[in-house]
Amino acid sequence: MSKIEMTTPLVEMDGDEMTRILWKMIKDELLIPYIDLKTEYYDLGLEHRNATNDQVTFDAAEATKKYGVAVKCATITPNAARMDEYDLKEMWKSPNGTIRAILDGTVFRTPITVKGIEPTVRTWKKPITIARHAYGDVYKGVEIKVPGAGKAELVYTAEDGTQIKELIHEFDGAGILQGMHNTEKSIRSFAKSCFTYALDTKQDLWFATKDTISKKYDHTFKDIFQEIYDAEYKDQFEAAGIEYFYTLIDDAVARVMKSEGGYIWACKNYDGDVMSDMVSSAFGSLAMMTSVLVSPDGYYEYEAAHGTVQRHYYKHLKGEETSTNSVATIFAWTGALRKRGEMDSNEALARFADKLEKATIDTIEEGTMTKDLALITTLENVNVVNSQNFIKAIAEKLS
């Protein structure tokens, strides 16, 4: 059987621990037998990031700008324990954070739905995509532990030396302070990515903040979204038959819980962090959640929404059997291959991505699955398999 040709390579970012093991299995069993796979390879495993002083992460992000589409394996963001475990030169930053900053992208996370893995929210019938603004706010916050009585002020000093001051609080004892920021440039990029992705996927777009309380900070988000929608996207949304809808964050949560799904929910950074985990858990499993970073400049980076599955990796190193769910990692590959096919007008490549996703879902719906899904499925008499045999079962279905 002749393999599907690729004209433009994907940027391939390898990763860490158990997901790195699955990465190779997926390529060997599900991709290379069918595709003349062309990738520009970057090893983002923690050991190589350390060896290159993290330069490899920057190089991978720049390559994504060059080629337009990347697929990324889960990676370790080191903490103090990892510093000792890997004998690191320093505590390297999150690769995802570095790549997001360089590509100026928004992260869209969508649950993968299959029969037998039912949402805990009974009204949900369709996936809910969370669009998280992955810049600023509390994640770039500056904090002070206030030792005692005193005055706290918020001060902005312009380049010409003029100042704007606001009293935060008159402390009569110990307390805490936090300062956070965002930029109009980043908010505009977020808004455009959300509107573009809604048009790409033909889904309604919801956006929510707390502008009634945060009359300058959150209200700026609201105003920028509305301004860009009215000026650049309103006519396109109406032509596509989709809607842009703004409401308060607490009202949005109430509406989401009673909705049937099938839309994109755009969230500020912290809201998106929390709500993406809530949505993924309520739909079944974080291992059944796709993630794509979309840049307003037309760059796409696909990955699984979960981590490196450290506990399973340690079992694997001991020679013990694991039953690790590889679905989200498979869908990272299919998402990247489909987008590459769309951008290159390579219909065969896009069709293969669809076929591999169907084979994966059919395998689960017919009762073969990893242990995590077996614990929550409503299907009876399921066949629980190990990590490798799950991928082999998909390969058999694919062939």
Q: For 103-131, write each residue's pLDDT tens digit.
A: 988 999 999 999 999 999 999 999 999 99
Task: Consult the annotation and say whether 82 binds a ligand.
Answer: yes
Please indicate, yes or no, if residue 296 is contained in any of the structural domains. Answer: yes
- The identity of residue 52, as a single letter, is T
250 is in an annotated binding site: yes
Is residue 129 domain-shared with residue 60, that is, in the same domain?
Answer: no
Which residues on adjacent β-strands are paired with residue 71? 12, 302
Q: Residue 12 above 80 pLDDT?
A: yes
Give CA–CA dist 113/269, Å, rounded: 25
pLDDT in tens, 135-173: 889 888 899 999 999 999 999 999 999 999 999 999 999
Is residue 305 over pLDDT 90?
no
Whether the per-residue pLDDT at 224 is higher than 90: the answer is: yes
Does 97 show up as a binding residue in the annotation?
Answer: yes
212 has binding-site annotation: no
Verify that 8 and 101 share a domain, yes or no: yes
Q: Is residue 319 part of a domain?
A: yes
* pLDDT 10s digits, 174-186: 999 999 999 999 9
Predicted pLDDT of residue 309? 94
* 111 annotated among ligand-binding-site residues: no
Q: For residue 90, is it within any domain? A: yes
The answer to whether the beta carbons of residues 163 and 156 sit under 8 Å apart is yes
Known binding residue 308? Answer is yes
- Looking at the structure, do residues 290 and 279 belong to the same domain, yes or no? no
**One domain, residues 246 and 125:** yes
Give the pLDDT score at 287.
Answer: 85
Say if residue 64 is in the same domain as residue 76. yes
Asked if residue 178 belongs to a known ligand binding site, the reply is no
**Is 132 annotated among the ligand-binding residues?**
yes
Q: Which of 247, 267, 283 is a domain's end point?
A: 283
Mean pLDDT of 13-25: 97
Helix (H, G, I), strand (E, B) or coil at 170: strand
pLDDT single digits (tens) 337-349: 999 999 999 999 9
Q: Is 299 part of a structural domain of the chain?
A: yes
Are the C-beta atoms of residues 116 and 380 closer than 8 Å to each other?
A: no
Q: What is the CATH number of the domain that holds 64?
A: 3.40.718.10
Asked if 242 and 128 sit in the same domain, the reply is yes
Domain coverage including residue 156: 137-181
pLDDT of residue 277: 84
Work out the mean pLDDT of the chain and round it to a whole number: 95
DSSP type of residue 35: B
Average pLDDT over residues 189-194: 94
Q: How far apart are CA 266 and CA 254, in angstroms?
A: 15
pTM across the whole model: 0.89
Say yes or no: 253 and 354 in one domain: no
Q: What is the per-residue pLDDT for 100?
A: 87
Any binding-site annotation on 203?
no
- In 263-362, DSSP assigns E strands to 263-267, 289-294, 300-304
Does any domain span residue 359?
yes
The confidence band for 286, taking pLDDT boundaries of 50, 70 and 90, is confident
Give pLDDT tens digits for 371-385.
999 999 999 999 999
When pLDDT is cut at 50, 70 and 90, the band that residue 285 belongs to is confident
Q: In terms of domains, do 329 and 222 share one?
A: no
Is 130 part of any known ligand binding site? no
Q: Are residues 93 and 128 in the same domain?
A: no
For residues 44 and 56, is the Cβ–Cβ distance under 8 A?
yes
What pLDDT is recorded for position 189?
93
pLDDT at 1 over 80: no
- Which of 236, 268, 283 is the last residue before a domain boundary? 283
Res 284 pLDDT > 90: no
Residue range 323-330: average pLDDT? Answer: 96
Are 126 and 230 contained in the same domain?
A: yes
Q: Would you say residue 113 lies in a domain?
A: no
Is 163 annotated as contributing to ligand binding?
A: no
CATH number, residue 240: 3.40.1010
309 in a known ligand binding site: yes
Q: Is 196 annotated as a binding residue?
A: no
Q: Is 220 annotated as a binding residue?
A: no
Residues 173, 299 within the same domain: no
Q: Give exposure, 371-399, as e/b (b: 16+ Cβ within 10 Å).
A: bbbbeebebeebebbebbebbbbbbebbe
Structure tokens given for 127? 């996936």
230 in a known ligand binding site: no
310 marked as binding residue:
yes
Q: Do residues 270 and 123 both lie within one domain?
A: yes
Residue 57: inside a domain, yes or no?
yes
Q: Which of 181, 200, 217 is the last residue of a domain?
A: 181
137 annotated ligand-binding residue: no
Q: Is 47 within a domain?
A: yes
State how many domains the chain has: 3
* pLDDT attached to residue 47: 97
The percent of residues in the chain predicted with pLDDT above 70, rounded, is 100
